[in-house]
Amino acid sequence: MSKNERIKTTLKGTKERRKQMVCRVYTVKLDRSHLNQKSLNILKLLFLEAKWLYNYCVGHPNVFSIDDKINAVPVKVKDQFEIRQLTHLSAQIRQSIITRVQQNIRGLVRLKAKGHKVGRLKFKSYVNSIPLKQYGNTYKIINGKYLRVQKIKQKLRVNGLEQLPPNCEFANAMLLHQHGDYYVAITTYTPREHRPVAPANSIGIDFGLKNQLTLSNGVRVLYTLPITRRITQLCKKLSRQQYRSKNWWKMLYKLLKAYAKTTNIKRDIRNKIVHFLYTNFQVVCYQNENLRAWQRIWGSKMLSTSLGGIISMLEVKVQTPVEIDRFFPSTKTCSRCGHQRAISLAERTYVCHNCGLVIDRDVNSSCVIEQEAYKNLGRGPTEVTPAETNTSTLTLDYLNQIPYVKASMVKETGSLTALA
Long-range contacts formed by 343-349: CB under 8 A, 24+ apart: 348/414, 349/414
- The partner residues of 85 in beta bridges, in order of sequence, read 72
Q: DSSP secondary structure string, 9-41?
A: HHHHHHHHHHHTEEEEEEEEEE-GGG--HHHHH
Q: Which of 335, 345, 399 is nearest to 368 (CA)?
A: 335
∠ CA 368-374-378, nearest 5°, is: 145
Return the DSSP state at 163.
G
Q: CA-to-CA distance for 48 and 43, rounded, in angstroms?
A: 9
Q: CA-to-CA distance for 326 and 342, rounded, in angstroms?
A: 17
Number of neighbours of residue 297 by Cβ within 10 angstroms: 11
∠ CA 196-201-204, nearest 5°, is: 120
Residue pair 298/305 in contact (Cβ under 8 Å)? The answer is no
pLDDT value for 238: 96
Q: Is 168 exposed, middle or buried (0-12, 13-18, 19+ CB in 10 A)?
A: middle
Q: CA-to-CA distance for 3 and 169, rounded, in angstroms?
A: 24
Q: CA-to-CA distance for 178 and 32, rounded, in angstroms?
A: 13
Parallel, antiparallel or unpaired: strands 202-207 and 283-287: parallel
State pTM to two decimals. Answer: 0.83
Task: Report residue 265 CA to chain centroid gap.
Answer: 12
Number of neighbours of residue 38 by Cβ within 10 angstroms: 11
Q: At what angle do helices 392-399 and 246-280 cross, to 10 degrees?
A: 160
pLDDT value for 117: 92
* H helix count then E strand count, the chain: 10, 18
Question: How many residues appear in the chain?
Answer: 420
Per-residue tens of pLDDT for the chain, all 420 residues: 677 777 778 777 788 888 888 899 999 999 999 999 999 999 999 999 999 999 999 999 999 999 888 999 999 998 899 999 999 999 999 999 999 999 999 999 999 999 999 999 999 999 999 999 999 999 999 998 999 999 999 999 999 999 999 889 999 999 999 988 999 999 999 988 777 777 778 899 999 988 899 999 889 999 988 889 999 999 999 999 999 999 999 999 999 999 999 999 999 999 999 999 999 999 999 999 888 888 888 877 888 888 888 999 999 889 899 999 999 999 999 998 999 999 998 888 999 998 889 999 999 999 999 999 988 887 655 555 544 445 678 888 899 999 999 998 865 444 444 333
Strand, coil or helix: what is 410?
strand
Q: Which helix (H) or strand (E) covers residue 156, if one does?
A: strand 156-159
